[in-house]
């Protein structure tokens, strides 16, 4: 059994063949997918998809979209978390975090949305799915300042060994996906090989972060829309790179990373018993 801990199944790239994408994922052995929200307007949609396909979801506002968020959007997240607090498929608050890679994003606005959503997660007793891009130290500072103790997943982690250990010490798992498959991803492969096995979870971030065999340049994607799209069904093949780094079998990799996912997002354990 594989768990994709981060897949944007609601993305427009899947509108034409979403059911087929889910079918391919299940055929590949992916039994559970976590669908994170990115804007307040799609909170209901991710919940709908999770219930429709027997998956799970997270509610939050992504740092890349906070500049366009309305004044009441944090209230909408808070209301949704309260309304669905007893929904077993609501497993986290996310995708939240900080992005200091993309130009033009106001740092103070990002920090405000990040900290306020951490507080919402703390109040709800839920873990978080963290967007980490050139922002690990600032994210860690926010977690400590809020006194956040519910853990979660540092999604698409690409920090240093020291930063990795700091997240682990705060109860977080580290998400690994398509970047593992690139020959030049030496730091990510080194982390995947050396961090404690209890810290590893698998993800695709589909339709984004395609593995090497799906990657297309920006020009190729523009010329042929749909090319280079990642899918949750690619997860077992992506995980071959993690298995090679750790010296594990695919079966062992699936068992370890799925158990870790259930530890990071405790409600997943209840869903797997249904």
Q: Domain containing 79 — which CATH number?
A: 3.20.20.140
Q: Predicted confidence band at 220 (pLDDT cuts at 50, 70, 90)?
A: confident
Q: Which residues pair with 128 in a beta bridge?
A: 93, 152
Q: Predicted confidence band at 222 (pLDDT cuts at 50, 70, 90)?
A: low
pLDDT at 263 over 60: yes
Whole-number Å distance between alpha carbons of 257 and 118: 25
Contact 127, 265 (CB under 8 A): yes
Contact 10, 34 (CB under 8 A): no
Domains held by the chain: number: 1
Q: Predicted confidence band at 219 (pLDDT cuts at 50, 70, 90)?
A: confident
Whole-number Å distance between alpha carbons of 65 and 180: 26
The whole-number pLDDT of residue 123 equals: 98
pLDDT at 273 over 70: no
Contact 98, 140 (CB under 8 A): no
Whole-number Å distance between alpha carbons of 177 and 143: 24
Instruction: List pLDDT tens digits, range 137-163.
Output: 999 999 999 999 999 999 999 999 999
- Tell me which residue range forms the domain holding 107: 2-272
Phi and psi based region of residue 2 (left: phi greater than 0; alpha: psi -120 to 50; beta: remaining): beta
Paired tokens of 64: 């890349």
């Amino acid at each position: 059994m594989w768990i994709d801990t981060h897949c944007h199944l609601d993305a427009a790239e899947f509108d034409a063949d979403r059911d087929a994408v889910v079918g391919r994922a299940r055929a590949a052995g992916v039994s559970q997918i976590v669908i994170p929200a990115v804007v307040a307007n799609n909170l209901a949609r991710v919940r709908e998809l999770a219930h429709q396909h027997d998956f799970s979801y997270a509610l939050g506002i992504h740092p890349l979209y906070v500049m366009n968020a309305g004044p009441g959007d944090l209230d909408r997240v808070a209301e949704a978390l309260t309304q669905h607090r007893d929904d077993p498929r609501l497993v986290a608050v996310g995708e939240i975090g900080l992005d200091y890679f993309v130009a033009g994003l106001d740092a103070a606005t990002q920090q405000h949305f990040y900290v306020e959503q951490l507080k919402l997660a703390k109040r709800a007793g839920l873990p978080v799915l963290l967007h980490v891009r050139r922002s690990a130290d600032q994210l860690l500072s926010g977690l400590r300042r809020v006194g956040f103790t519910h853990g979660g997943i540092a999604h698409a982690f690409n920090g240093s060994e020291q930063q990795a250990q700091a997240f682990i010490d705060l109860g977080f798992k580290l998400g690994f996906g398509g970047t593992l498959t690139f020959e030049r991803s030496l730091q990510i492969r080194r982390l995947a090989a050396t961090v404690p096995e209890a810290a590893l979870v698998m993800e695709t971030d589909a339709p984004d972060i395609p593995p090497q065999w799906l990657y297309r340049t920006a020009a190729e994607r523009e010329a042929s829309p749909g090319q280079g799209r990642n899918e949750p069904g690619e997860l077992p093949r992506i995980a071959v790179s993690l298995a090679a780094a750790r010296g594990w079998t695919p079966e062992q990799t699936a068992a370890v990373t799925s158990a870790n996912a259930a530890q990071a997002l405790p409600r997943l354990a209840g869903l797997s018993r249904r």
